[in-house]
Structure 1
């Protein structure tokens, strides 16, 4: 049943009463062919099930009603609250005690579970806040200091700055601003993922255009790297979320640029693949496959499984970084029903492969504009 239904106290009492009444009526139909002790076991099972879903008071009501029903309907003399045999008195007494203990213990167990869940949630939230504060103090302070310092130098009237120096300071402000924007975007994106707010807006996307736009944005970060792009000229349009795809590729290329040595090669490949049934001459599954690889150091084999964990930073990582980039990539990929894999290349470096099962639109099918 709906969890909201069980939140109402009135509904819980109704469920408790109707459950005991239903089992009592069903057992009454076969009262002559089953022993009343079996009926007691069945009613005890009902109370146990009620204890799992309901609060303590409705469960206690069910326990009392089931004990009364067992006595009134199934123990001779029928339809009286009178018992002749001492063993039946003991049975009824023990039944009632067991039902009460079961209800109380189950309720305490549920309260303990809720307390543990609240404690774990608070611990997770505290860890999130601590990590974010650590990120703010380390990752955001550096670009902010660079911006403030450069502006302060430019505003000094008693210092004559050459045109070259002014351009260098402006360039430092731009670089620091871009880095600051990147970190803030990652923090906001992680908040969106944590809250389940991500709702992809699927539309026809030119992935080739996204790749080149990202590479242009990262031209400063990748100026000491060799960027190799391998994309078919006739790559079809894919139905994806343009903004999410741009952020995915940006984070992966940026990650490669930050964790590979100068002169390393970062390769970006986009392919269109089709799983086809050649006997029937039909296309079964259409895929957009994006591979981003480098010839750097790769990932520590013993830690590679944690690469997409939130806030995880490898032991060999250089100082700085929030550990959010790859977890955001994974979240944005899965939000579009895609998959991402990571492996180390045999000759060194890392290979990220993203696969999206999507609708596609051949470029040559578009009207000329």
Structure 2
């Protein structure tokens, strides 16, 4: 891919490849001229010009089209090894070849240019749409917690003497919840920016997956009457991966389950090792995902129709991006008994904890 980009940006290299190609093809055809005839050679050379026009800029392709016409005349049309043409039929054929080759080169490159401009317009429209979606999401996601923080602080300042201890604690809890919500959105934006710019650098180390999962559960604790998160630790090896990214993957998936399943739902986590990967499953007993939207849930800013207010649609996209940064993936399916199941597969080396010191 990098070499193709280099060729696409280097016009001199395009000239060299184009001329080299026509000389090489012409030499091969010249060796077999008695078997294929000069009419077939014309078709082969036209095909070569068409292929070059699909990839190169217009000037090298026009030049190679003219060159191919002259070579075809010189090497293949009788009398050979001259530019003379004996019959009117061959002269007309040569003229048609010349016109078709040049027109083919010009029109093909112009079509490519038009397609490139159409792609740029489409990408620009998509970018504008994404920014509008982001702006609309953030206008709610940032405004709501900021208003909660300002309102709670104003109440504490103006009525501190009148507030009971319970009311004061409730206001501080409101500030904490709103602050965490703001922090989560800022982290999501920063993580998405890192993914978009390709600046994610894996920093692998040996980690205990049990400890990592318990940390995520602790950070996502909610009232016992609202959601229940279940995980039974296992005797698993240590895995070599970037724990910060894996923890963020788990956090985003569990937070998504908490946010979009009814109160009282159960979230179950399971972890195990395969021959070359760490696999974590996160499932819930909610309503699951509509089948027609299953492939879109990992897209940036995507939120299911009629979903509850809140969220920017970045959490699952970031989780998938972090998994792919490990050359892994996240798969989603609906359980037969109801609810959704996310399967996180992260290729990783593993070792017995007893042998960790020797690694």
Same fold (TM over 0.5): yes
Question: 1:158 deviation in Å?
Answer: 8.2
Q: Which residue of 2 is the match for residue 190 of structure 1? A: 192
CA distance in 2, matches of 1:334, 1:222: 34
Q: Deviations over 1:32-78 (max 9, x none)?
A: 66533233223222222221222111111111112222223333334
Q: State the 1:363 CA deviation.
A: 1.9
Q: In structure 2, the residue corresponding to 1:53 is in which secondary structure?
A: coil
Q: What is residue 320 of structure 1 aligned with on the other side?
A: 310
> How far does residue 207 in structure 1 lie from its aligned partner after superposition?
1.5
Cα distance between partner residues in 1 of 2:356 and 2:288: 41
Distance 1:220 1:58, change over 3 A: same
CA shift for structure 1 position 30: 4.6
1:321 Cα deviation (Å)? 1.9
* Cα separation, 1, equivalents of 2:288 and 2:79: 81
Task: Confirm whether residue 355 of structure 1 aligns to residue 345 of structure 2.
Answer: yes
Q: Give the TM-score normalised by the residue count of structure 1.
A: 0.88
Moved more, 95-104 or 218-227: 218-227
Asked if the contact 1:231–1:271 (Cα under 8 Å) also holds between the matched residues in 2, the reply is: no
Q: How does 1:1-369 map to 2 (within 5 A)?
A: 2-31=4-33, 34-156=36-158, 160-220=162-222, 224-232=226-234, 234-273=235-274, 285-366=275-356
Cα distance in 1, alignment partners of residues 95 and 357 from structure 2: 84
CA distance 1:205–1:74, shift in 2 (3 Å): same
Check whether the contact 1:221–1:254 (CA below 8 A) recurs between aligned residues: no
> 1:282 maps to what in 2?
none
My pick for the range that moved more, 356-365 or 113-122, is: 356-365
Assess if the C-alpha contact under 8 Å between 2:333 and 2:341 holds in 1.
yes
Whether the 8 Å contact between 2:18 and 2:64 is mirrored in structure 1 is yes
Query: Which stretches in structure 1 are left out of the alignment for 5+ residues?
Result: 274-284
CA contact (8 A) 2:138 2:312 kept: no
TM-score, length basis structure 2: 0.90
Give 4+ residue runs of structure 1 displaced > 6 Å after superposition: none
Offset from partner CA, 1:278-329 (integer Å, 9 cap, x none): xxxxxxx243221222222222344334332332222342122222222222
| Equivalent residue, structure 2, for 1:280 | none
